Structure 1
Amino acid sequence: MAFQGIIINLFRATLLGLLFLVGDVSARANASGGRERTSLNAGWTFKRWENAPDGLSYDQLKPWILPGANDFIVDKSTWHQRPTNKPPRNIQYASANFNDSNWTSLDLPHDWAISGPFYDGDNPPVSGDGGRLPTQGVGWYRRTLSVDASDSGKQIYIELDGAMAYGTVWMNGNLVGGWPFGFASWRLNLTPYMHHGDNQLAIRLEQPLDSQRWYQGAGIYRNVWILKVNPVHIAQFGTYVTSSDVSTDSATLNLDVLVEHTGGDHPMTVKVATEVHVMDDSGNPGDQVGSFESATVTVAPTKKHSAHGTVTIPNLKLWGPIPSQKPNMHILVTRLYNSKEEVIDTYQTPFGVRSTEYRDDGLYINGERIYLQGVCRHDDLGSLGVAVHQPALERQIDMLSEMGTNAIRTSHNPPSSELLDLADRMGLVVLDEIFDAWNNPKMSNDFHLIFGDWAEPDLRSFIRRDRNHPSVWAWSYGNEIPEQGNQQGDDTSKRLRAIISEEDPTRAATLGLNNAGPGSGIIANIDLIGLNYQGEGNSDSGGNFDSWRSQYERMMIFTTESSSAVSSRDTFLFPPPDGNSATMDENGTGTDPNTHQVSSWGLWAVGWGASPDHVFAAQDSHPYVGGEFVWTGWDYLGEPTPFLSSRSSYFGIIDLAGFPKPRYWEYQARWNPNIRMAHIIPHWNWPDRDGESTPVHVFSSADEAELFVNGQSQGRITKGNLEYRFRWDNVTYAAGEVSVVTYKGGDEWANATVRTTGTASGLVLSAYKDRTSIAADGSDLLFVAVDIVDDNGDTVPTAEPTISFSIDGPGQILSTDNGDSTDLTAFPSTDRKAFRGKALCIVRANKGASGAITVTANADGFDAANLEATIA
């Protein structure tokens, strides 16, 4: 089946390399344009309790919270009515008279759990699956919000991009409302509860125990905004653009603008006018290339009305994924005019024009087959937790792009808008996913408890927020749902799929299927076959791609979750498996049960998964398969299979600190084959293996390679069919030098060398991408790595001294890490033991600072090392 659609981007104002304030681009209109949207991240006080100090629960507050979902419930007869009475108790933490002077002062975004300390030992309140961090409990946030005479007549909203979880908002002691789903973006109208002068804003969050299968963090972890608009304005997520007849010659744009009237007693007639602009290099409207014919709508009080427009524009540059296409962007500028021709609202909608088809052999964008070289990612940013840091997101995506990644799956929840903005700008496609559970639980306190009330509003708001992003190529509305194989699951899937069709008929939708097989009833409700591990099978067996193809010949089949290989960076246990994939266990098969590290050959996987080599072979043997999403691109907090005593996963191709594991180069060789690269494993520091067989493997996109040990050839070999590494499994270890010369098409391609290092003698600091300037905007970050080296400057992979980081100048060290899943040192600690010769320090300059900062690393027995960064 072939769907064709265009995705246009409601771009939330982040651009690669630009570190201006992040937010909804519609907010760029200033007060003169009738709309003012400003950050509310600064100046909060905060306190957390492990148990509810206020006697409140979601069930008590639900009658006052549910009405906030009404805008996203289509059947108005089921709308929720707010009780006329107040909640049953007065809450001191919401009162202006409460003294919070002993609370913690902080700025948002904020993850209250990431600073730790980690829970150690057996039977902790939060297990390794949850990252052993104190996510549980109740947190209150408070700050003053001032309103002056210039705000008279305005409607004032608070907008939260994400708050974990069961968020409720109070203004001047009054419960305004809330939203329980911690991954949702939502807003509330504060206007009825405010007065001129200072107002007391308070936000309560609660994160129950046994609600997280992985580390989801806690707190107001995404950005918060104050929006001021005239009573008649463009609604939340109020533009939706599609296109038709897309070609390099022209494209027809179809625009819906939703206008709402939230104040006054009389209908109001407004003119809706929209221009089409090229997006300039700064992310702002550039040259105008067209406009829609203006429309006039009359909106009654408390109602909404849509304006529709169509325009055909020649020579629009298309949006497409890298590397073969370019992610060209445009911006719509929509203005509302009153009867006096005064602008009363301005709303910007950046977008990218593209055609999309889902064929029986995969995804096509602008007529070109895009094989999905994708990774799954959870929401955390390593030692920074789930708090949104745009530079950290950039670093993640940048490293994945260099590996050859062209696709991301947002497992298993709505991502931050910043992630989608970067995917739009950097040219990656996104499988946008929302639910990890429906009616039946995976954890006793997970989303299933509120699914009945919130499935529709959560799903509709999610799609309306994200449906204009060109990077989003399909929706996923469930991952490994427990009821995927029964009638309840079939019925629920049908209902959710219908909602998606109503909100966005241009895109296909799918599920991550791990149990449902060919012929299952749930397949009737999806457009694409997304398989978790089924297609390729595991290390011990083949998969079932052919079974799916035989029953669904016209549907696109791809892998929503593949591999689940596990490893600790640069940890090599001998021997590697004889075949191309093997199943590890915690008792010493591919693992060290004493150190809780996992061998890094890239050939060990969990029982349900398989190595990259196995997955690649299965994909290549079934050329109709549209690609894969590897579990996972980066290590993440929680789910430390197979060692639950650890803090973070072993699944990543890149470790938690951002250092590539050996598997990185295997994926790069396949996904980015034009890079002249050869990578040798293992390292060559094995004093206890002298004279023993010590295999050597090489990753490269070359087709032939010759290996040398201390100048002696170990043989020139050709990479065979369905082989993805060069293997010399009978090398005799001798200290010295291992080198490889690779060939492609008979010509020399890339060379590499590893040496037995000398004694560790120095510390070397380096900044990611050699970037040694940092903005003083309070959000830019500097990623400083330390390598422990010998006299030749080679990193010593066995050197693991404790590094003490310090900073001189107007900045602060936010966190340190080393990529070791077993390290339970709190992330804010400035003392960090190196792991396999490396460690990381993340630095932020003080807001408004100038001059320079110097990062210093010290370790016993080493001279101090410095790195200076200028503050731009």
Structure 2
Amino acid sequence: MPGVRTDGTRDGELGLAVALTDTPGGVALRAEVRDAVGHLVAGGTLDTPDRDAPDGEPTVAGRLTIPDVHAWAPGDGYRYDLALEVPDGEGCVLDRYDLKVGMRTVRVAGARLLVNDEPVHLRGFGRHEDQLVHGKGHDPVLAVHDHALLAWFGANSFRTAHYPHAEEVLDLADEDGLLVIDEAPAVGQNEAFSGGRLAPATFGEGPGFIGAAAQEAHARLLRELVARDRNHPSVVAWSVANEPTSSAPLAGEYFGPLFALARTLDPTRPVTFANEGRHRPETCRVTPMADLLLLNRYYGWYEDYADLESAEQHLRAELATWAALGKPIVVSEYGADALPGTHHADPEPWSEEYQAAVLEMSGRVFDGESAVVGEHVWAFADFATAPGLIRADGNRKGVLTRDRRPKAAAWVLRRRWRARAAGERADGEREEGAPTPEGGVDWGDGGRSAE
């Protein structure tokens, strides 16, 4: 059974669509759902043709209802065990597929991002799969260590910049109740970063342009991304690309079909892209397609270098222009490089103190703009790059060193994010503590600690 699509809601409705291959005609698929301790909570037979299945793919579909559902939620990675079996009509099982499923909903409402119809504020990072010695790639031990560090920070989310990370990373995110913006491997579609290989207009046909052939490959990668990751409850949005030339004349023609494809493949999640700093609301041709705005901004570094007073004013002014669009904003990259061990009493660029000051300034601005529903620092940890004039033995924007030791900025984030997490827990406890009809107080379970 190579294709399984699940759509679980916080109300306990679990939609299933299963593609079958090499299976006798007229087969009915058995489905069972068990809770975390193994109790059977739902079951049934799937034999309804799925009219939304790709042409030529025999698919059965159906819905199960889980009573008294335990919803998957931020900080609460509760999942059920789904078992799908193909019987042969004589009591034997021809094939079996097991999958963990989380029951939750995600949607955008105005300038809010809602999980289970509750507003969320994303705290976290853009992350690379990179480490000392091993270099680029997945390491299971490091992944567990990094997720422990996310908890140390009080983070609740990350973006898989700028490519899909190993599926084991999403398994960990599911288990930990983390929220993930899952990004397609589309980076570098920007003439400013192309070293002269791309024309200023970027999108079109001919030498120096990104055209139909690239668009077709891009669509294939989106299909692969959604097919692999659609059953992970941690994935709350699809990012189509990182920092394209989104104000180019034909950017809309290039990205329009890709956004439409992503919504067809998965209508249950917001679709977005990461906007690069030169492309503002009045010129960006891709922003109208996005449900959620991701803004990569480096005030205090690439803009207003070494002038944090101006940086604060300009960041606040720009965010106000985006907020006027009425969509939720995640500042998906911000920060500054810092060389570990470089210190200045009067913070100067490249010092740990200056990096910390940039993050403190940015946090003040975010707190003053209600449309900002997320903050992802670039980056989680220092990482290797090709040599370059602005690189000092790699990219040093990590708040952790490449071997995961905290710089001064890490402690700034930890204080900020853990205080916000504590406030969210307190708000939840106040809601659970509402008076009961008998005049008492029902405190629920008190919420899950972020420790």
Query: Could you tell me how far apart the structure 2 residues matched to 1:384 and 1:410 are?
Result: 19
Question: After superposition, what is the alpha-carbon deviation per residue over 1:137-190, rounded to whole angstroms, capped at 9, x for unaligned?
Answer: xxxxxxxxxxxxxxxxxxxxxxxxxxxxxxxxxxxxxxxxxxxxxxxxxxxxxx
Matching of residue 509 in structure 1 with residue 271 in structure 2? yes
> Which residue of the partner structure matches residue 622 of structure 1?
369
> Which residue of the partner structure matches residue 226 of structure 2?
463
> Which residue of the partner structure matches residue 436 of structure 1?
187
> Which residue of the partner structure matches residue 566 of structure 1?
337
Contact conserved, 1:380 with 1:387, CA < 8 A, in 2? yes
Query: Could you tell me how far apart the structure 2 residues matched to 1:525 and 1:603 are?
Result: 33
Query: Could you tell me how far apart the structure 1 residues matched to 2:395 and 2:78 are?
Result: 36
Query: Could you tell me how far apart the structure 1 residues matched to 2:243 and 2:26 are?
Result: 49
The structure-2 alpha-carbon separation of the partners of 1:654 and 1:456, relative to structure 1 and needing over 3 Å to count, comes to same
Structure 1 counterpart of 2:85, from 327, 332, 335: 335
1:466 Cα deviation after fit: 0.5
Paired residue type of 1:442 = S
Question: What secondary structure, in the 3-state scheme, does the structure 2 residue paired with 1:628 have?
Answer: strand
Structure 1 counterpart of 2:352, from 600, 608, 622: 600
Query: Could you tell me how far apart the structure 1 residues matched to 2:387 and 2:194 are?
Result: 17
> Which residue of the partner structure matches residue 311 of structure 1?
64
The structure-2 alpha-carbon separation of the partners of 1:287 and 1:382, relative to structure 1 and needing over 3 Å to count, comes to farther
Structure 1 counterpart of 2:243, from 457, 461, 480: 480
CA RMSD of aligned residues (A): 2.9
Paired residue type of 2:269 = R
Query: Could you tell me how far apart the structure 1 residues matched to 2:420 and 2:129 are?
Result: 30
> Which residue of the partner structure matches residue 74 of structure 2?
321
Query: Could you tell me how far apart the structure 2 residues matched to 1:461 and 1:395 are?
Result: 28
> Which residue of the partner structure matches residue 231 of structure 1?
none
Contact conserved, 2:8 with 2:102, CA < 8 A, in 1? no
Matching of residue 371 in structure 1 with residue 132 in structure 2? no
Paired residue type of 2:13 = T
Matching of residue 278 in structure 1 with residue 32 in structure 2? no
Query: Could you tell me how far apart the structure 2 residues matched to 1:642 and 1:611 are?
Result: 21
1:546 Cα deviation after fit: 1.1
The structure-2 alpha-carbon separation of the partners of 1:269 and 1:338, relative to structure 1 and needing over 3 Å to count, comes to farther
Question: What secondary structure, in the 3-state scheme, does the structure 1 residue paired with 2:372 have?
Answer: coil
1:659 Cα deviation after fit: 0.8
Query: Could you tell me how far apart the structure 2 residues matched to 1:422 and 1:497 are?
Result: 28
Query: Could you tell me how far apart the structure 2 residues matched to 1:278 and 1:653 are?
Result: 39
> Which residue of the partner structure matches residue 637 of structure 1?
384
Query: Could you tell me how far apart the structure 1 residues matched to 2:125 and 2:209 are?
Result: 24
> Which residue of the partner structure matches residue 260 of structure 1?
21
Contact conserved, 1:375 with 1:632, CA < 8 A, in 2? yes
The structure-2 alpha-carbon separation of the partners of 1:656 and 1:439, relative to structure 1 and needing over 3 Å to count, comes to closer
Query: Could you tell me how far apart the structure 2 residues matched to 1:243 and 1:423 are?
Result: 17
Q: Which has the higher strand share?
A: 1
Question: After superposition, what is the alpha-carbon deviation per residue over 1:261-312, rounded to whole angstroms, capped at 9, x for unaligned?
Answer: 39xxxx63422111111245xxxxx2221113342779xxx95211011122
Query: Could you tell me how far apart the structure 1 residues matched to 2:254 and 2:118 are?
Result: 34
The aligned length equals 393
Paired residue type of 1:305 = P
Contact conserved, 1:383 with 1:656, CA < 8 A, in 2? no
Q: Residues 643-654 of structure 1 correspond to what in structure 2 (within 5 A)?
A: 644=391, 646-654=392-400
Segments of structure 2 that go 5 or more residues without pairing to the other structure are 199-207, 423-451
Which protein, 1 or 2, shows the higher relative CO under an 8 Å CA cutoff with sep ≥ 6? 2
Q: Which has the higher helix share?
A: 2
Could you tell me the TM-score, scaled by structure 1's length?
Answer: 0.42
Question: After superposition, what is the alpha-carbon deviation per residue over 1:60-84, rounded to whole angstroms, capped at 9, x for unaligned?
Answer: xxxxxxxxxxxxxxxxxxxxxxxxx
Contact conserved, 1:439 with 1:448, CA < 8 A, in 2? no
> Which residue of the partner structure matches residue 356 of structure 1?
106
1:642 Cα deviation after fit: 5.6
Query: Could you tell me how far apart the structure 1 residues matched to 2:376 and 2:258 are?
Result: 23
Question: After superposition, what is the alpha-carbon deviation per residue over 1:790-826, rounded to whole angstroms, capped at 9, x for unaligned?
Answer: xxxxxxxxxxxxxxxxxxxxxxxxxxxxxxxxxxxxx
Paired residue type of 2:263 = S
Question: What secondary structure, in the 3-state scheme, does the structure 2 residue paired with 1:666 have?
Answer: helix
Structure 2 counterpart of 1:288, from 30, 35, 40: 40
> Which residue of the partner structure matches residue 403 of structure 2?
657
Contact conserved, 1:411 with 1:433, CA < 8 A, in 2? yes
Query: Could you tell me how far apart the structure 2 residues matched to 1:378 and 1:360 are?
Result: 31
1:400 Cα deviation after fit: 2.0
> Which residue of the partner structure matches residue 253 of structure 2?
491
1:535 Cα deviation after fit: 8.9
Contact conserved, 1:269 with 1:339, CA < 8 A, in 2? no
1:489 Cα deviation after fit: 1.0
> Which residue of the partner structure matches residue 155 of structure 1?
none
The structure-2 alpha-carbon separation of the partners of 1:471 and 1:674, relative to structure 1 and needing over 3 Å to count, comes to closer
> Which residue of the partner structure matches residue 344 of structure 1?
94
Query: Could you tell me how far apart the structure 1 residues matched to 2:34 and 2:194 are?
Result: 47
Query: Could you tell me how far apart the structure 1 residues matched to 2:421 and 2:267 are?
Result: 39
Mark the structure with the bigger radius of gyration. 1
The structure-2 alpha-carbon separation of the partners of 1:294 and 1:620, relative to structure 1 and needing over 3 Å to count, comes to closer
The structure-2 alpha-carbon separation of the partners of 1:410 and 1:254, relative to structure 1 and needing over 3 Å to count, comes to same
1:549 Cα deviation after fit: 2.0
Contact conserved, 1:383 with 1:657, CA < 8 A, in 2? no
> Which residue of the partner structure matches residue 530 of structure 1?
294
1:547 Cα deviation after fit: 1.1
Question: What secondary structure, in the 3-state scheme, does the structure 1 residue paired with 2:130 have?
Answer: coil
Question: What secondary structure, in the 3-state scheme, does the structure 1 residue paired with 2:331 have?
Answer: strand
Question: What secondary structure, in the 3-state scheme, does the structure 1 residue paired with 2:171 have?
Answer: helix
Query: Could you tell me how far apart the structure 2 residues matched to 1:271 and 1:392 are?
Result: 43
> Which residue of the partner structure matches residue 417 of structure 2?
671
Paired residue type of 1:429 = L
Question: After superposition, what is the alpha-carbon deviation per residue over 1:197-229, rounded to whole angstroms, capped at 9, x for unaligned?
Answer: xxxxxxxxxxxxxxxxxxxxxxxxxxxxxxxxx
Contact conserved, 2:383 with 2:395, CA < 8 A, in 1? yes
Contact conserved, 2:29 with 2:85, CA < 8 A, in 1? yes
Matching of residue 420 in structure 1 with residue 170 in structure 2? yes
> Which residue of the partner structure matches residue 545 of structure 1?
319
Query: Could you tell me how far apart the structure 2 residues matched to 1:273 and 1:404 are?
Result: 41
Contact conserved, 1:439 with 1:452, CA < 8 A, in 2? no
Query: Could you tell me how far apart the structure 2 residues matched to 1:439 and 1:535 are?
Result: 20
1:363 Cα deviation after fit: 2.0
The structure-2 alpha-carbon separation of the partners of 1:506 and 1:675, relative to structure 1 and needing over 3 Å to count, comes to closer
Query: Could you tell me how far apart the structure 2 residues matched to 1:481 and 1:345 are?
Result: 44
Question: After superposition, what is the alpha-carbon deviation per residue over 1:453-483, rounded to whole angstroms, capped at 9, x for unaligned?
Answer: 422211111111111111111111111102x
1:545 Cα deviation after fit: 1.1
Q: Residues 472-871 of structure 1 correspond to what in structure 2 (within 5 A)?
A: 472-482=235-245, 484-514=246-276, 515-519=278-282, 520-533=284-297, 538=304, 539=308, 540-541=310-311, 542-543=314-315, 544-550=318-324, 552-553=325-326, 555-563=327-335, 565-572=336-343, 574-577=344-347, 590=349, 598-603=350-355, 611-638=358-385, 644=391, 646-673=392-419
Question: After superposition, what is the alpha-carbon deviation per residue over 1:220-261, rounded to whole angstroms, capped at 9, x for unaligned?
Answer: xxxxxxxxxxxxxx12xx1111134x34xxx11111111123
Query: Could you tell me how far apart the structure 2 residues matched to 1:439 and 1:602 are?
Result: 29
> Which residue of the partner structure matches residue 205 of structure 2?
none
Segments of structure 1 that go 5 or more residues without pairing to the other structure are 1-233, 281-285, 578-588, 591-597, 605-609, 677-872
1:448 Cα deviation after fit: 5.8
The structure-2 alpha-carbon separation of the partners of 1:640 and 1:372, relative to structure 1 and needing over 3 Å to count, comes to farther
> Which residue of the partner structure matches residue 132 of structure 2?
382
Question: What secondary structure, in the 3-state scheme, does the structure 1 residue paired with 2:163 have?
Answer: coil
Query: Could you tell me how far apart the structure 2 residues matched to 1:377 and 1:640 are?
Result: 20
Question: What secondary structure, in the 3-state scheme, does the structure 2 residue paired with 1:304 have?
Answer: coil
1:625 Cα deviation after fit: 1.1
Question: After superposition, what is the alpha-carbon deviation per residue over 1:675-696, rounded to whole angstroms, capped at 9, x for unaligned?
Answer: 99xxxxxxxxxxxxxxxxxxxx
Could you tell me the TM-score, scaled by structure 2's length?
Answer: 0.80
Contact conserved, 1:372 with 1:629, CA < 8 A, in 2? yes
The structure-2 alpha-carbon separation of the partners of 1:296 and 1:473, relative to structure 1 and needing over 3 Å to count, comes to closer
Paired residue type of 2:225 = F
Question: What secondary structure, in the 3-state scheme, does the structure 1 residue paired with 2:6 have?
Answer: strand
Question: What secondary structure, in the 3-state scheme, does the structure 2 residue paired with 1:458 have?
Answer: helix
> Which residue of the partner structure matches residue 96 of structure 1?
none
Contact conserved, 1:437 with 1:447, CA < 8 A, in 2? no
Query: Could you tell me how far apart the structure 2 residues matched to 1:624 and 1:303 are?
Result: 44
Matching of residue 392 in structure 1 with residue 142 in structure 2? yes
